[in-house]
Amino acid sequence: MATRAAVEEARPVVHERSPAVEARPELAPVWKRLDEQIDWYDRGSRRSKRWYLLLKVVQIVTAAAIPVLATAWPEKAWIGGGMGAGIVVLEGLQQLFQHHSNWTQYRSTCEALRHEKYLWMAHAGPYSRSQRPDSLLAERVEGLVSQEQAAWASTQSEKTTSHGQ
């Protein structure tokens, strides 16, 4: 999270000073929103990655153990059947909660937000030409967040439609 001093140091120099610019509150709202969104998408990405990898590792280990158990204890075939059912349940949970797609989508959005942050701080890209870089930052941050939310809503809609609900 950026300190006020770092934000002020990185803030573009505005040569024109009008009463509207002087009266405008500091950058805190857009900067706070940006940092909160980066943090939220970063945590969401890490959480989804952990769940995805956990589910997949358990599935792989369980699937590998089934033939070993079937060979070692052929009279206890029900154990292998139960493990196979467990694999199906784990895959069903992965499909239901979409941990893999959430991981990749959240990471992509987080990195895009960081990209905007660093461009703004360096006065580079679209911020180098903008008369109002703070406003441009707010618009671009909200655009990225809105895109991700629209993609999520579309995915939810597809799930509902494909399940006949």
Angle at 50 between CA 98 and CA 58, to 5 degrees: 85
Instruction: Evaluate whether residue 142 is within a structural domain.
Output: yes
Give the domain extent around 148. Answer: 30-159
pLDDT at 27: 55
Looking at per-residue pLDDT, the higher value among 152 and 114 belongs to 114
User: Is the Cβ–Cβ distance between 140 and 116 less than 8 Å?
Assistant: yes
Structural domains of the chain, count: 1
Instruction: Evaluate whether residue 3 is within a structural domain.
Output: no
Q: How far is CA 154 from the centre of its chain?
A: 16
Instruction: Evaluate whether residue 141 is within a structural domain.
Output: yes
**Please, what is the average pLDDT of the chain?**
85
pLDDT > 50? residue 147:
yes
Q: How far is CA 130 from CA 105, 136, 139, in A?
A: 29, 7, 12
Instruction: Evaluate whether residue 24 is within a structural domain.
Output: no
Measure the CA–CA gap between 32 and 123, rounded to whole angstroms. Answer: 19
Instruction: Evaluate whether residue 45 is within a structural domain.
Output: yes
Token pair listed for 36: 């909160």
Residue 12 banded pLDDT, cuts 50, 70, 90: very low
Token pair listed for 9: 């140091």
Instruction: Evaluate whether residue 101 is within a structural domain.
Output: yes
Instruction: Evaluate whether residue 93 is within a structural domain.
Output: yes
Looking at per-residue pLDDT, the higher value among 64 and 10 belongs to 64
- If one counts every other C-beta atom within 10 angstroms of the C-beta of residue 71, the result is 9
